Homo-oligomer: A and B are copies of this chain.
Amino acid sequence: MKSVIPVTTLEIKTACSQCNLRELCLPFGLDPNEVDQLDELVGSRRKIKRQQHLYRSGDVFEAIYAIRAGSFKTDVILEDGRDQVTGFQMTGEVLGLDGISTEHHSCNAIALEDSEVCVIPFSRLEELSRQVESLQHQFHKIMSREIVRDHGVMMLLGSMRAEERLAAFLLNMSQRFTARGFSPSEFHLRMTRDEIGSYLGLKLETVSRAFSRFQEDGLVAVQQKHIRILDTPGLKRLLNHHAA
C-alpha cells in the first residue's frame, strides 16, 4: 500500500451526488441539498456476484435497490417449476418495488454479472419523501414507469410474433444502452438465449432462429452475445408494419 485513502474520499466516490447515474436514478430532479439528504439515507452498498440472488421470492421486504454497476434479471417461479423472466435491469434502475405490496418480495432478483447495488431502506425512503417533494415525485414516477414498462411487455407477449418480439427487445436494449452513454448499435448482451426466450415468451431455439434470420436479412450482426445493429429503421419497420 502506497498511501492511505481517506474514508471521506471513498464515501464521496459512492455518493449519489457524485454518481454519474443520478440522471437515471432516484436523485433525478433533486437539488444538490436534497441529494445530500438522499446520500445519508443510502446506507450501504452491496456487491452481488454473477448468478447470485439479490433477493428471493418470499424474502421479507426491507429495502429497494438502485443498480450502481452490472445488471440483473427478475423472475417468477411457479410451483410446477415453470419460470418467467419479468425483466432485465441495468445501471440506474431500481429493483425491489414488488415487495412493497405485501412486505415480502414476490420475485427473484439475480445478477447477470458481478454487480453492485445501493441499498435504500424503504421506511427511511418513505420518511424522507414525506419531507422532500421532488424525491416523492421522482419515486412515484419510477414506480409508474415500471407499470408502463410492464404494459409494453404484455403487448409484446400478447400480440406480437416471434421476430417482432425480438426486434422490440433489441431496440429497447439499444435505447437503454444509449441512455447510459454506450453505443446504440453495438453492445454485449449479458443474458442467455434461454433467458431472452423466457422474457419474450419464446423457446431458446426460436430466439436463436430469429437472430439468424435477422442476420440473413442484414438487420444485425450477431456473434453469440455480441450484437451489432446494422439497420435500426428495418427493425422498427418489423414492429409497426404488421398486416392485420
Give me the interface of A with B, judged by CB distance under 8 Å.
74, 76, 78-86, 97-102, 106-107, 126, 129-131, 133, 136-137, 140-148, 150-155, 157-160, 198-201, 240-242, 244
Q: Which of A86, A97, A131, A147 has the most CB of B within 10 A?
A: A147
| B-chain residues with CB within 8 Å of residue A241 when the two chains form the complex | 80
| Contact yes or no, A136 B143, CB < 8 A | no
Q: Is the interface of A mostly helix, strand, loop or mixed?
A: helix
13 A–B pairs (Cβ distance < 8 Å), ordered by A: A80-B240, A80-B244, A82-B159, A84-B155, A84-B159, A98-B144, A98-B148, A101-B142, A130-B136, A157-B157, A157-B201, A158-B200, A159-B201
| B-chain residues with CB within 8 Å of residue A153 when the two chains form the complex | 150, 154
The 9 closest A-B pairs by CB, nearest first: A100-B144, A150-B150, A158-B201, A101-B144, A157-B157, A101-B145, A84-B155, A80-B242, A143-B143
